[in-house]
Amino acid sequence: MYDVFKENSKNIYMYPGRETVTDPFEKTVETTLLNPIPIKAIVAPLTFTKIQWAMPGIETDKALEIIILKKHENLLKQSYQIKVDNELYNGWQINGRLQYRPEGDYIKAYIYIKKV
C-alpha cells in the first residue's frame, strides 16, 4: 500500500485555525486561519449517489474522498479548510464531529464544499 500511496498521492493544503471568543455572553466565535501545511494525499472524486450514501443529510454538489497518513490525524482534526486543486473545501465536520475512518496506517475522510 505504501508504494501505491507514493505513486498516486498529490499535495493538498490543510489550513489549521484558531478560535477566539468575541462575545462571551452571546458565545460568538471568530476563526482565524493559520498558514497552510502541505501534506500528501490520495484524492478521489465522489459521485452524487456515493455522496448520498456516505454522507446522508448533506447537501452539496462536489465532494472528495481523501486518504492521508495516520500521523496527520491531529492536523485533520485542527484544520478548518482543505485546499485541493485550487478549490477550498470547508465541510467535513457534521454536528461538531469529524467524518473520517482509520484504516491501518491511513485515514479515509470525506470533504465537501458547503452549499449555501
Q: What digits encode the pLDDT tens for the residues 44-88?
A: 998 887 777 777 777 777 888 899 999 999 998 888 889 999 998
pLDDT of residue 58: 75
Amino acid at 108: K
Contact 73, 67 (CB under 8 A): no
Q: Does domain 2-19+30-112 have CATH number 2.40.390?
A: no
pTM value?
0.82
Asked if the model's pLDDT at residue 41 lies above 60, the reply is: yes
Q: ∠ CA(27), CA(32), CA(37), 5° rounding?
A: 140
Query: Where does the pLDDT of residue 96 fall: very low under 50, low under 70, confident under 90, or very high at 90 and above?
Result: low
Q: Residue 53: which residues within 8 A CB-CB, separation 6 or more? A: none
Asked if the model's pLDDT at residue 31 lies above 60, the reply is: yes
pLDDT of residue 1: 77
- b/e map 18-39, b = 16+ CB within 10 Å: eeeeeeeeeeeeeeeeeeeeeb
C-alpha cell at 5: 500511496
Query: Where does the pLDDT of residue 13 fall: very low under 50, low under 70, confident under 90, or very high at 90 and above?
Result: very high
Mean pLDDT of 5-25: 90
| Torsion angle in degrees (nearest 10) through CA of 88, 94, 16, 20 | 120
